[in-house]
Structure 1
């Protein structure tokens, strides 16, 4: 190799020549600022929209400007990568904004009635001109109805998913899976009508001297119908994610299949199962139509879920939102905030309990 070729190879292999130029963070931020300023000027001066359109148009202009600026500094390939990365981040931010707006609205309007009177009294004997009244009866109803529905739906859903994954084969398993998928999309009012026609009008008269009876238990049955398909599908997917070698290792040691499922498969899939169960509970806690159809709603406290009308937080929010009293909207917002807080506390508690399992760490 000649001296000239050796010098050329040294020049090519120097680290300074391998490094490429990168777009400075200041230029990236400047592009974003200019894009949103241009968007605000165009949208607000022409009057074609509000701040929502400003954000959307600004994000589009920012992506276009970033691609142009990065192409001149880093090249086309790196500019495309940077542009799509910014698009992903922007999409994530745009998805979070509505959620943050809902949370802020809920908290800002729901704190007005966060007092002892709201959590310690019911709406019994509260008129349109009374500023008091609370959701104690609705909180009790929600906890009882969702608790009973969970006791019904969670064991059935988990056992059904175990059958579909570990034992189910052939046409029967495919039929069960098909009907579970169909039940996932049924409206909540259909579940309420089913329980109304079966339990309230046919079964409950046997225990009430021939008279139909509304009850919180009937609402729990309707909520369990809504929870069941969600629990089955989510648990089935989590069980399928359990690695096959775990089962095979247990079988090789002579462990029976039922004990393998109880000791190996279920603990491994427990975090995912808990997530699916909490999603089902959150849906059940927020349903209004089934409770209105089969529990009737009540202004007074009823601790007995098997006899008499009973309310829930979702139904309480619906009733207060449509009330003509000037004090009703504050009660509705605080009840909605309370419902979200209950679901959040239950979800955190369930996650903490699932983490204590040694096989899921």
Structure 2
């Protein structure tokens, strides 16, 4: 005679039982309420401490509730998911705080006049002035750095993936890894030493050279990974038709990975757009408009932010201009990332029916 299975397992948990979707939200809300109560009773004034207590209570509460209803195995999975969400929120809070602070303080003087005028004869302590000269300098310096660093980085990645064998490839890979960790000030000092040898005065193109040095290893690494994602079957099919390898790379490999390569280049541009140390050493800054990057000192957005904040003492017109320039720089980097995502989606391989 067969025995009927019990609807509950050995731990007293009902088989097939599951938490409703709203239960974790209820646990999160309860954790926040309890954390606020603990913070008020204990006299904790920092909201960060309240948030950490709420996160700890949320993880513990999720484990207790899931264990009672679903069992320990499912409870461990719930706890892992809860930890992922907590880590995500902890990473998101500084970003949201940074953007909120920059926007709230940067919109005070950010207008058409601010974007279309330079500092000119405006003193740092006086209101007025703008960042047109800094925007122009940043666009020229970053553009020249991209024109130098992107082709060299892409060609280096093509060599490492398609041709690289032996000691030379190992040496190139080693130096790319070393260059990835080079501080920006070191790249600036390298170009500065060349300027001193050649007896050159500060000019915008010198900053572009330092930014290109910082950009190249990022482009090499991102392009290398994109080229490795191209299936070898495509290369073999092209070579089997008698097409030379260089033409296979040009007509098959690069078009297939063009979206990822473009994204990597745009991210490298966004990485160098905010560099201050090389520009401070090599370009010096200029309150007037200088559209020639090959002659004379030139401004840039990161350097403008640094100089304005250094002269502001934490308040005044220069302080507001520094925050407005910071907001402009963030918008510039955001636009670059959006353009990179758009190009990557546009150039992504499309599967036909």
TM-score (norm 1): 0.89
Out of 63, 66, 71, the position equivalent to 1:70 is 66
- 1:310-349 superposed matches below 5 A: 310-324=298-312, 326-349=316-339
Which residue is 2:28 aligned to? Answer: 32
Matches within 5 A, 1:27-66: 27-48=23-44, 50-66=46-62
- Count of residue pairs the alignment pairs up: 342
8 Å CA contact 2:117, 2:129 repeated in 1: yes
**Residues 245-324 of structure 1: matches in 2 within 5 Å?**
245-324=233-312
Distance 1:350 1:61, change over 3 A: closer
**In structure 2, what is the Cα distance between the partners aligned to 1:168 and 1:159?**
12
Report what 2:91 is aligned to. 95
Q: Which residue of 2 aligns with 1:202?
A: 197
Measure, in 2, the Cα distance between the counterparts of 1:58 and 1:357. 44
Aligned to 1:154: 150
Please state how far the C-alpha of 1:343 moved relative to its aligned partner.
Answer: 2.0
Change beyond 3 A, Cα 1:156–1:52? same
The answer to whether the 8 Å contact 1:44/1:50 transfers is no
Residues 125-180 of structure 1: CA deviation (Å, up to 9, x unaligned): 11244210101100000000000000000000000000011001111110111011
Secondary structure, counterpart of 1:348 in structure 2: helix
Mapped partners of 2:292, 2:30: distance in 1? 63
2:259–2:348 Cα contact (<8 Å) kept: no
Give how far 1:94 is off.
1.8
In 2: Cα distance, 1:359 partner to 1:59 partner: 42
Worse-superposed segment, 330-339 or 318-327? 318-327
Is 1:173 paired with 2:169? yes
- What CA distance in whole angstroms lies between the structure 2 residues aligned with 1:332 and 1:254? 59
Note if contact 2:260-2:344 (Cα within 8 Å) is conserved in structure 1: no
> What TM-score do the two structures reach when normalised by structure 2?
0.91
1:248-269 CA deviation, whole Å, 9 max, x = no partner? 1111122211111112211222
Larger Rg: 1
Aligned-partner Cα distance in 1 for 2:340–2:66: 47
Q: Quick one: distance in 2 between partners of 1:91 and 1:240? A: 31
Deviates more, 1:165-174 or 1:265-274: 265-274
1:209 maps to none
**Structure 2 alignment gaps of length 5 or more:** 8-13
